[in-house]
Amino acid sequence: MGDVYSQIKRSIRAMNGRHTPLLLTGKVESVDGETCTISVGELKLTKVRLRSVINGEKSQLLVTPKTGSYVTAVDISGELRQLEIIGWSEIEKIDIGTGGDININCNGTVVINDGDNHGMAKVEAVADKISAIEKDINNLKNKINGWTPVVYDGGAALKTAITSWATKQFQPITKYQDLENEKVKH
**Between vectors from CA 52 to CA 98 and to CA 100, what angle results, nearest 5°?**
20
CA distance 133 to 174: 11
Containing 65, the helix (H) or strand (E) segment is strand 62-65
Query: Cα separation of 19 and 109, whole Å?
Result: 42
In a 13 Å sphere around the CA of 99, the CA atoms on its Cβ side amount to 4
pTM: 0.59
Cis, peptide link before residue 149, omega less than 30° from 0: no
Q: What is the pLDDT of residues 69-83, one digit of tens each?
A: 999 999 877 777 788
- Backbone φ, ψ for residue 101 (5° rounding): -65, -35
Q: Are 48 and 99 a contacting pair, CB within 8 Å? A: no
The model's pLDDT over 7-48, given as tens digits with 9 standing for 90+, comes to 766 666 666 555 667 888 999 999 998 899 999 988 899 999
